[in-house]
Structure 1
Amino acid sequence: MRRIPALDMLRGYALVCIMLDHMPIGVLRNVTLTNFAVFDAAELFVLLSGFLVGLVWVKIEAREGRWAAQIRFLRRAAQVWLALIAGAILLALFSALLFKLQMNHTAVWFQYARWIFEHPIGYVATVALMWMQPNLLDVLALYVLLIATVPVTVPFLLRWPFPAMAVSVAVWLFAEPLNALIPNQRPGPGLLFNPFGWQMLFFSGIAMGAFRDRIMPVLRRHSAILTTISVAILLFSLTIVISWKIGAPAKPITETLRQVTGKIDKWSLDFMRFIAILAASWVVAVPLARPFAWLAATRFGEVLAEIGRGGLYSFVVCVMLSIWGDALDMTVPPGPANIWLRLAIDLWLITAFWALAAVWMRRGKWLPRLRSQPGLR
C-alpha cells in the first residue's frame, strides 16, 4: 500500500508527544498537544491507528479477499500482544537497571522492577493475561483488544455502516459499567484505557479510512460550514485548557464551561475529547491539507515520519526513552537556571528516538550484512 507521508508524520508526532508527556519534569512536555486541546496524543494515536486499519483492510480485501484480511489482523493482534509482553519485560528490567545505577524515576511504578526478579513468571503471566497493564504500556492492552475484534467488526461495519456505528455509540454510552466487569489488578474498576469507550474513536477512524473515497466528496460540499464548526470546537477546547492552567482565579469560568461539556474524562473517552479530535482531524485533512503535505516533505517531517513508520517497535522505544528521560531529568538540580539542561535532554531524546527508528527502518540493508559475517553464520 502506498504510504501517506503526512499520516506517518502525524503518527511520529503522536509518539514523540507521548514520550515527552510521560517525563513529569521535562521542558518540552509544556508544548505538546495536550497543552492546546482537551485531547492528547493518545487520541491522535488511536484515531490514526483505526484509520490505517480501514485503509489496509479495504486494500487487502479487494486484492486477496476477506479471509486474507481477517487472518492479517488476527496476526496483527498477536503481534501487539507479544509487543505488550516484551515491552513489559524490557520496562521492568530497564527500570531495575536505572535503580541499580541510583537513577531514580517516577515515570513507571517502582514495583515492576522488583516483581520481574522476585516473581518473574507471575509478572509475565499477569501481563500476558492482561490482568495487569504496566503504566506507559496500558494503551497497548487497549490496542490488543480493539485489533482482536477487527476480523468480526470491520466486515459488519463495511456491510452495515450505520447500524455498526449505532452499536458503537450504544457501547460507548455504557462504557463505564461495562469496563467495571473486567477483572483487573488496578484498584479502580476495569482497564485504565476503557476499551468500551475508546472503541468508538477507533472504529470512527476505521470508517474514515474505509469509506473516505465515498464520504469526502459529500463532506467537501459543506467544507465551509464544517471548517467553521471545527475551528469553533478547537477554540472552545483551547479555552477549556487555558482555564485549567490558570487554576483557581479562573474557577468560575471553568465551572461555567463544565456546565456545557460535562465531565471531561480521558480514560472512558468523554464526548468533548471525542468531538475535539474529530474537529482537529477535519482541519488537518481539509483546510490545512497542503501545509501538512509541505511539512511532511521537509526534513523535520521526514524525521517524524520515520518514527511513525516504526510501528510497535517505535512505541516500545518511546516507552523506554520516557523512563530514561525521566531518570535523567531527576539528576538535574531544580531551579530555572537548569532549564536549558532539561531542554537539552528532551532534544537529545528526540534525536535518539529518530536514530533508533531510522536504524530499524533500514534493517533490510544492514541485517543481511550482519548475518553474513563469518562468526554469525
Structure 2
Amino acid sequence: MSYETDPKNPRRDLRLDLFRGLANWAIFLDHVPNNVVAWITVRNYGFSDAAELFVFVSGFTVAFVYTKVMQKKNFLAATVGIYGSVWKIYVAYILLLVFYVVTIGYVVQRYGHAHLLDEFNIRRLIADPVEFLKHGLLLQYSPLNLDVLPLYIALMAPLPPVLWLLVKSPNCTLAASVMLYVIARQLGWNLPAYPSGGWYFNPFAWQLLFVIGAWASITDRDVLERNLRSGVITSLAVAFLVFSAIVTVILQKGYAEALPEAVVLIFSPNDKTNLAPYRIAHFLALAVIVARLISKDAKALKWPILRPVMVCGQQSLEVFCTGVFLAFVAYFLVHLISDTFAFQFLISILGIALMVMVAYFRRWSKEGAAKPS
C-alpha cells in the first residue's frame, strides 16, 4: 500500500482515506449514548471498534509521510514536521475541551439536566475549574469521549526516534514494541489521570497498534500482501471473525450463561483500556479480509458516493473534533425531544452531514490558502 499527502496524487491509497473516514463516522455514532443507529458499527459484532482502525491508519499514514521527509531531507526536518503536527493536535484538543465543557455547562444551566455533569465527567471541573483545567492542559484530565486526542499526542510525541529505528530495523523495532506492550500489561503501566486512576486509553498498550501500522507502511509491502493473501491466513481470519461475532453478540444480549465459563472470563469485560490481545487479533483479522476483498486499485474506490467518506478521512482531525462535539448535541436532542428510532436516525444522518460539510469546507480552505495570491 502507499500513501501521499496530496489527495489528487494517483499513487494515494484511497482505502486509507475511506476507512479513516468511516472510523470518524463510527466514533460519532458510538459516542451518542443509547443510539440505536450505532448498532451498525463494528463494535457490536466483534472485539475491536473504530478506535483500533483510527490508531492503525494514523500510524501507517504518519510513518509513510515522514519517512519520505526523512529520506528526501533529513531526520531534523521530519522531527520538526512531526512536532508541528503534535502541536496542532494539542491546540485542537484544548479548543475542543473548552467548547465541550462550556456547551455542557450551558445546557445544564439552561435546561436543568444536572445528571449530564456526571455522565460527561465535568462536575468536579465545574466545582474547581482552575485545578481541573490545569490538569486538562497537562493531558491528565479529560471529559467523556475526549480521550482519543491525548492518546494520539502521546503516540506521536516519541515518533521521531521510533521512526528512525523502524527505517533502520523495522522487525526489531516491532519486536521491541511487542515487548513494551507485554511488560506494560503485566506490570500495570499506565500514565496517571487526574484526580485518580490512569488514562482510559493506555498509551503503553496502544502504541503497539500504532507501531504495527507504521511498520506496515515501511516493510516490504509486496511480500506482506502476498503473505496476507495466503489461504491459511485468510481462513484463520474468517474463523476468528465469526467466533468474535458470536461471542460479542451473546455477551451483549446478556446470555453469558450460554458460553463456557472460561470464554466469559477471557472476553468479559472487553479490555479496551489496555488493548487486550484479542482486540488486536480481531482488528488484524478484519484488515486481512478487507485487504483481500478491496484492492488498492478497486474501481469501487472511484465511486462518487464514497467521496464524502474519503474527504472526511483526508480532513480527519477537524472531522473527529466535530464528531465528538456533535455527539453530545445529538444525545441532548434525543434526550430532550424524542428517543424514537426515527428521530435518532434523523439526528445521526444530520450529524454525519455536518461532519461532511466541515470536511469539504476545510479542504476548500486549504486549497485556497495553497493558491498563490
Normalization by structure 1: what TM-score? 0.87
Q: Aligned pair in 2 of structure 1 residues 184, 304: CA closer, same or farther (>3 Å)?
A: same
Distance, in Å, in 2 between the alignment partners of 1:251 and 1:294 is: 46
CA distance in 2, matches of 1:219, 1:108: 49
- Secondary structure of the 2:293 match is coil
Q: CA–CA distance in 2 between the matches of 1:83 and 1:132?
A: 15
- Structure 2: distance between partners of 1:272 and 1:186: 30
Residue 209 of structure 1 is aligned with which of 186, 210, 217? 217
Q: Do 2:190 and 2:199's aligned partners in 1 also have CA atoms closer than 8 Å?
A: no
Residue 283 of structure 1 aligns with which residue? 289
Q: Does 1:21 align with 2:24?
A: no
C-alpha separation in 1, matches of 2:175 and 2:342: 50
Structure 1: distance between partners of 2:40 and 2:266: 26
Name the counterpart of 1:344: 346
> Which range is displaced more, 130-139 or 8-17?
130-139
Q: Does 1:325 align with 2:335?
A: no
Q: Distance between the aligned counterparts of 2:260 and 2:328, measured in 1?
A: 33
Residues 250-301 of structure 1: per-residue CA shift (max 9 Å, x gap): 42315353467687411100110001101111111123337x9444322331
Tell me which residue corresponds to 2:261: 255
How do residues 1-377 of structure 1 correspond to structure 2 at under 5 angstroms?
1=4, 2=9, 3-102=12-111, 104=113, 106=116, 109=119, 112=122, 115=125, 119-176=128-185, 180=189, 182-188=191-197, 190-213=198-221, 215-216=223-224, 218-219=226-227, 223-248=230-255, 250-253=256-259, 255-258=261-264, 264-289=270-295, 293-334=298-339, 338-364=340-366
SS at 2:111's partner residue?
coil
Per-residue deviation, 1:56: 0.9
How far the C-alpha of 1:162 sits from its partner, in A, is: 2.7
Which amino acid is 1:289 matched to? S
Return the TM-score normalized by structure 2. 0.87
Alpha carbons of structure 1 residues 114 and 296: separation in structure 2 relative to 1, 3 Å: farther
Mapped to 1, the partners of 2:252 and 2:240 lie a distance apart of: 19
Distance 1:238 1:312 in 2: 30
Partner Cα separation in structure 2 for residue 152 and residue 318 of structure 1: 32
Question: Offset of 1:323 from its aligned partner?
Answer: 0.7
Kindly tell me: are residues 8 and 181 of structure 1, through their superposed partners in 2, closer, same or farther at Cα, counting changes over 3 Å?
A: closer
In 2, distance between residues paired with 1:247 and 1:321?
Answer: 30
Q: Distance in 2 between matches of 1:14 and 1:8?
A: 10
Q: CA deviation at 1:136?
A: 1.1
Give the stretch that moved more between structures: 28-37 or 262-271.
262-271
Identity %: 26
**SS of the residue aligned with 1:94?**
helix
Q: Is the 8 A contact 2:166 2:218 kept in 1?
A: no
Measured after TM superposition, the shift of residue 142 of structure 1 is 1.0
Tell me, yes or no, if the aligned pair for 2:67 and 2:163 is still in contact at 8 Å.
Answer: no
Contact 2:121 2:143 in 1 (8 A): no
Q: Which moved more, 1:1-10 or 1:40-49?
A: 1-10
Contact 1:137–1:319 (CA<8 Å) still a contact in 2? Answer: yes
| Mean CA deviation greater in 84-93 or 60-69 | 60-69
Query: 1: CA distance between counterparts of 2:81 and 2:223?
Result: 26
Cα offset for 1:57? 2.2
> What amino acid is aligned across from residue 52 of structure 1 in structure 2?
T
Is the contact between residue 6 and residue 293 of structure 1 (CA under 8 Å) also seen in structure 2?
no
SS at match of 1:362: helix
- 1:263, 1:270 within 8 Å by CA — same for their partners in 2? no
Partner letter of residue 139 of structure 1? V
Cα distance change, pair 254–63 in 1 and its aligned pair in 2 (3 A) = farther
CA distance in 1, matches of 2:60, 2:195: 30
One-letter identity of the residue aligned with 1:126: H
How far is 1:309 from its partner? 1.3
1:375 aligned partner: none
- Secondary structure of 2:140's match? coil
For structure 1, the residue ranges without an aligned partner over 5 or more in a row are: 373-377
Deviations 1:310-351 (A, max 9, x none): 1221111111111111111102345xxx32122111111111
Q: Closer, same or farther in 2 for the Cα pair 1:246/1:84, shift >3 Å?
A: same
Change (3 A) 1:24 1:214: same
Say if 1:247 and 1:109 are closer, same or farther in 2 by CA, change over 3 A: closer
CA distance in 1, matches of 2:346, 2:91: 34
RMSD, matched Cα = 2.8
Letter of the 2:217 counterpart: G
